[in-house]
Amino acid sequence: MIFSPIRLPRDYNFPFENTEEMFFQVEDGIDLNCLLFKSKQSKGLIFYIHGNADNLRYWGDFAPFFIDRGYDVFMYDFRGFGKSRGKIRNERTMQRDNKILYQRMVELYGEENIIVYGFSIGTGLAARLANRNSPKMLVLEAPYDNFISLIKFHKAYLPASWITKYHFRINKYLEQINCPTHIFHGTEDRKVPYYLGERLRGLNENVSFHTVNDATHSDMQSMAYYQRKMDELLT
């Protein structure tokens, strides 16, 4: 009910330029498919954690926005998505995989040069990662206060707190976050409603909340306000 992966054959060739494909082993017999998009003169790295559906063929189309602003972009597919092996079992496994890949990028770029970026369900992974580490910045696009609230919004009849293995307590992670954090949420978002993101406003002096009028769940990059703010943040 939560994840909607689309698989890819292992010999599939991604149509992206200036991109390095790699596989990182996170457990015996399980490796995750990753893409590293390269800019011409890199200022650092966007560690991008995507949403709950599709695979890197789709999410890779979001990378040029950051490449054009001088950043390399690292993306990976969760277990069972695209070419990645294995199956998502619980939140702890996802958080552990996320940490392993992040540490690999820290070795390459240095943590002071990494911006952690989470989209939709990926905001829960991104917030915890930034809470437990020290990236340059955290950016959350279309987040929720915690995953139970999001389940209740979509499936009000379910006893969400009893049946789910996923909690993603972003509100708790942000209460004790030390890096500059920027939240962007669209007022017309119907998948992760605006009011769930707004609950994160004011949790910490390091957290800035940005309302993006008229933005839906998937068109943030086309919005002039978002573009201006990201130009400022990535300069």
Q: Report how many domains make up the chain.
A: 1
Domain extent, residue 149, equals 4-234
pLDDT for the residue numbered 160: 55
Contact assessment for residue 170 and residue 125, using Cβ atoms and an 8 Å cutoff: no
Pairing state between β 72-76 and 30-37:
antiparallel
pLDDT for the residue numbered 118: 98
pLDDT by residue (tens digit) across 6-27?
999 999 999 999 999 999 999 9
pLDDT by residue (tens digit) across 163-185?
577 889 999 999 999 999 999 99
Angle at 88 between CA 117 and CA 9, to 5 degrees: 85
Contact assessment for residue 170 and residue 124, using Cβ atoms and an 8 Å cutoff: yes
Question: What's the mean pLDDT when you consider all of the chain?
Answer: 94
User: 3 burial class (0-12, 13-18, 19+ CB within 10 angstroms)?
Assistant: middle
CATH code: domain of residue 54: 3.40.50.1820
pLDDT for the residue numbered 26: 97
pLDDT for the residue numbered 3: 86
pLDDT by residue (tens digit) across 106-150?
999 999 999 999 999 999 999 999 999 999 999 999 999 998 888
Q: Phi and psi dihedrals of 134, rounded to 5?
A: -135, 65
Pairing state between β 53-54 and 137-141:
unpaired
pTM over cut 0.75:
yes
pLDDT for the residue numbered 10: 97
pLDDT by residue (tens digit) across 199-233?
999 999 999 999 999 999 999 999 999 999 999 99
> Percentages helix, strand, coil for the chain, rounded to the nearest 5?
35, 25, 40
